[in-house]
Amino acid sequence: MGDLDNKLSNVVGDRTAKVLADAFGIKSVGDLMRHYPRRYMVRGELSDIAELHEGDEVTILAEVHSSANRPIRGRKGSILEVIVTDGREKLALTFFNQAWREKELKVGSQGLFAGKVGVFNKRKQLAHPDYQMIPDGADVANAIDGFAGKYLPVYSATSKMPSWKISQCVDMAIESLDELTDYLPEEIRSAHNYPTLQEALVQLHKPADLEHADAARERLTFDEAFLLQLMLVMRRNELKKLNTISRKTIKGGLLEAFDAALPFELTGGQLSVIKEIEEDLAQAHPMHRLLQGEVGSGKTVVALRAMLAVVDSGGQAALLAPTEVLAAQHVRTFEKLLGPLALGGTLGSAEKATRLTLITGSQSAPARKEALSLAATGTAGIIIGTHALLGEKVEFNDLGLIVVDEQHRFGVEQRDALKVKAQKPPHLLVMTATPIPRTVAMTVFGDLDVSTLRELPLGRQPITTHVVSVLEKPAFLARAWERIREEVAAGHQAYVVAPRIEAGSDESSDTDFLFGLESPDIASVMQLAPQLATGPLSGLRVAELHGRQSSETKDATMRAFAAGEIDVLVSTTVIEVGVDVANATVMVIMDADRFGVSQLHQLRGRVGRGTSPGLCLLITSAAAETPARARLDAVAATLDGFELSRIDLEQRREGDVLGSSQSGTQSHLRLLRVLRDEELIESARADAQGVIAASDDLSSYPALSAEVALMARDAAIDYLDKG
């Protein structure tokens, strides 16, 4: 008899325990109890193949008619296709890279098959269905009656450890359990009307009915959100206990001079975020704030003001940028905005001036030496750089603020590598242009306070986006090049974006076939630029920009483009983040279906930044009514980055948000989905805050405290930390 920590071998025997450990890393009874069923097969819901509709979740009883494993054309991997029949109609089951299943799915044998009906090549199919084969010789009626009226749990399984065997092990594990201590405080459990931990675990595996299964699943999903929020709330409280130098804004400093010279009015949104940041900086504990905002909403100015406030108070501020192109652009922008205020210690400087310096990996040795000395002596108040800022040789006189631009490119380790260069824990402002829904922010960036810029500066022109299908209307591509010529003739500039640097290298994904994507020649910068320059865009000044160029080349190209010396920039996504050239009005994105929704939104945010309207053309050969095409239509339909990031998360990445090892047994986040479970996350957050308010180190809740500690050690949580 035992608890969840009991070794599984004590319960199911050494041999079986070893198979479970090898297959899923399951070692304890608790690990097995947390290997939740993916679904249940229900006896009463067997479906006729003839009556299946696309999108239905079905379970059918059928016989294997034939099977064939074939390589995928033009790329790695194989597809196992199994045809099953109910005696009247046939249905295809497809498995990607799982040839071994052919042995289980023997021709002539019967089984139950469950999954979601899809249509591919006009034929109904189940992709990666769950199944339960009826053992040879068993009477079919009996085998089915064996779980008549019951819910047969279906588990992630392997060839050595099929689902039914896992189910048997779970039975033994349940039998072995004494009464479990529930870590969820009783008052919270009863307020939500949740089952106890033990009831929930048992009912999830062996539900009396689907309501019980749902209640169990909700309780266990809540647990995940609750433990995560507890951990994050505690972490935030720890940060508040740290001591740092308060950086109050002063009268008559750089900041005032800067505001006076600013060529535009700050938006209401900018002003209120600025206020939040100033209040944070004035505290004696470090700021930890995420600034998220629509593309073009003016985050840079907000960050620059925070940096100036810190410089005014005698400290230094560092800005960490994800690419050299962006770091160099920040220097140019700051120099422009600051004017004489950035010329400290030189002729022509303003009275209160400071200095800017740039630190990148590719700068010349003398330039680097000078930059290092400006930073170390404190002469430079503002230090801008790429990863090179994190280098050992980089020292500061008094680093008071770290600004991280485009957060998603940096991890916590990198922020920390900078933090240790300060004498006291510095204030931190991270900026992201990929807006994320509130609960995602609460989950992924739960230890940061969040400020949001929703509004765009006044006078910003809307961007019109069109999907251009070269399958349906090949001539429209010519029209796209004509539009570029027209914009250039009107004095504007254009971007052409291609997914690849060079032709040929096939980076298409193994699963494209599932989405009906063909893999034609994907556009590349090196092929496209000369074609355009000698063909449809001949006579225009066309230049290339991509990650394989030296940083001098990239920088020179960006400068020339910003100065209007280049008409058309043919580029990879190096221009995705932050690049700001107001005169660029049109962007043509080749093979747009190759990009994610948020990425496309980022890309098109490069046009329409000045006073003329922006135009973005999404060129695609994805067929109508494919998911790829639907994503493009979504991008064309709205300019709301929050909406799009939600679509993005729903379609591709929700799992990734909570960590790639989410399905691994080590993870504590198996059930939680940040979008689907928004309400649950909100209420878990409130409950977590209540508990911490009552006992800030959880000492009054020992079982809960132990559970949170377990989560904090979780590998998946490490992933979260990387933001």
The residues of the shown chain that bind Mg ion, judged by CB under 5 A, are 578
User: Shortest CA distance to 417 belongs to which of 436, 405, 430, 402?
Assistant: 402
Amino acid type, 619: I
Near ligand ADP in 392-451, by CB under 6 A: 433
Give the residue, chosen from 239, 266, 282, 470, that forms a contact with ligand ADP under the rule CB under 6 A: 266
Pick between residue 281 and residue 456 the one whose CB is nearest to ligand ADP: 456
Write phi, then psi, for 644 (nearest 5 degrees).
Answer: -70, -35
**Using CB distances below 5 to 8 A depending on partner kind, what does residue 679 bind out of Mg ion, ligand ADP, none?**
none
Give the residue, chosen from 449, 580, 682, 721, that forms a contact with ligand ADP under the rule CB under 6 A: 580
Kindly write out the interface string for residues 608-637 of this chain, putting x where it contacts ligand ADP by CB under 6 A and - elsewhere.
-x----------------------------
Write phi, then psi, for 206 (nearest 5 degrees).
Answer: -130, 70
Q: Given the rule CB under 6 A, which of 181-189, 295-303, 500-508, 675-683 is the region that contacts ligand ADP? A: 295-303
Q: Given the rule CB under 6 A, which of 118-126, 263-271, 305-313, 626-634 is the region that contacts ligand ADP? A: 263-271
List, in order, residues 6 or more apart from 253 with CB less than 8 Å away.
Answer: 308, 309, 312, 352
**330 close to 300: Cβ distance less than 8 angstroms:** yes
**Using CB distances below 5 to 8 A depending on partner kind, what does residue 295 bind out of ligand ADP, Mg ion, none?**
ligand ADP
**41 close to 64: Cβ distance less than 8 angstroms:** no
Beta carbon of residue 296, minimum distance to ligand ADP (angstroms, whole number) = 5
Pick between residue 301 and residue 647 the one whose CB is nearest to ligand ADP: 301
Alpha carbons 490 and 384: distance in angstroms, whole number: 35
Give the residue, chosen from 300, 363, 645, 667, that forms a contact with ligand ADP under the rule CB under 6 A: 300
Q: Given the rule CB under 6 A, which of 356-364, 380-388, 574-582, 682-690 is the region that contacts ligand ADP? A: 574-582
**Using CB distances below 5 to 8 A depending on partner kind, what does residue 293 bind out of ligand ADP, Mg ion, none?**
ligand ADP
Size of the site for ligand ADP (CB under 6 A): 19
Does 267 bind ligand ADP (CB under 6 A)? Our answer is yes
User: Shortest CA distance to 38 belongs to which of 133, 125, 166?
Assistant: 166
Name the β-bridge partners of 93: 82, 126
Beta carbon of residue 552, minimum distance to Mg ion (angstroms, whole number) = 23
Pick between residue 217 and residue 408 the one whose CB is nearest to ligand ADP: 408
Alpha carbons 506 and 485: distance in angstroms, whole number: 31
Beta carbon of residue 270, minimum distance to ligand ADP (angstroms, whole number) = 6
Pick between residue 26 and residue 584 the one whose CB is nearest to ligand ADP: 584
Kindly write out the interface string for residues 536-555 of this chain, putting x where it contacts ligand ADP by CB under 6 A and - elsewhere.
--------------------
Give the residue, chosen from 60, 255, 295, 590, that forms a contact with ligand ADP under the rule CB under 6 A: 295
Alpha carbons 431 and 305: distance in angstroms, whole number: 14
Give the residue, chosen from 37, 185, 286, 293, that forms a contact with ligand ADP under the rule CB under 6 A: 293
∠408-409-414 over CA atoms, to 5°?
A: 110
Query: Helix, strand or coil for residue 320?
Result: strand
Q: Given the rule CB under 6 A, which of 91-99, 191-199, 266-274, 701-709 is the region that contacts ligand ADP? A: 266-274
User: Shortest CA distance to 422 belongs to which of 392, 442, 458, 397?
Assistant: 397
| DSSP one-letter code for 28 | B
Does 327 bind ligand ADP (CB under 6 A)? Our answer is no
Helix 14-24 to helix 163-176 angle (10° resolution) is: 120
Amino acid type, 644: L
Does 100 bind ligand ADP (CB under 6 A)? Our answer is no
**326 close to 405: Cβ distance less than 8 angstroms:** yes
Which strands sit side by side in the sheet containing 399-404, from one edge to the other?
A: 355-359, 380-385, 316-320, 399-404, 427-432, 288-293, 449-453
Torsion of CA 476, 477, 480, 484, to 10 degrees: -150
**Using CB distances below 5 to 8 A depending on partner kind, what does residue 298 bind out of Mg ion, ligand ADP, none?**
ligand ADP
User: Shortest CA distance to 525 belongs to which of 509, 543, 537?
Assistant: 543
Q: Given the rule CB under 6 A, which of 290-298, 408-416, 537-545, 714-722 is the region that contacts ligand ADP? A: 290-298
Residue 132: CB atoms within 10 A of its CB come to 20
Give the residue, chosen from 435, 578, 596, 641, that forms a contact with ligand ADP under the rule CB under 6 A: 578
**240 close to 285: Cβ distance less than 8 angstroms:** yes
Does 322 bind ligand ADP (CB under 6 A)? Our answer is no
Does 264 bind ligand ADP (CB under 6 A)? Our answer is yes
- Chain contacts with ligand ADP (rule: CB under 6 A): 264-267, 270, 293, 295-301, 433, 457, 578, 580, 582, 609
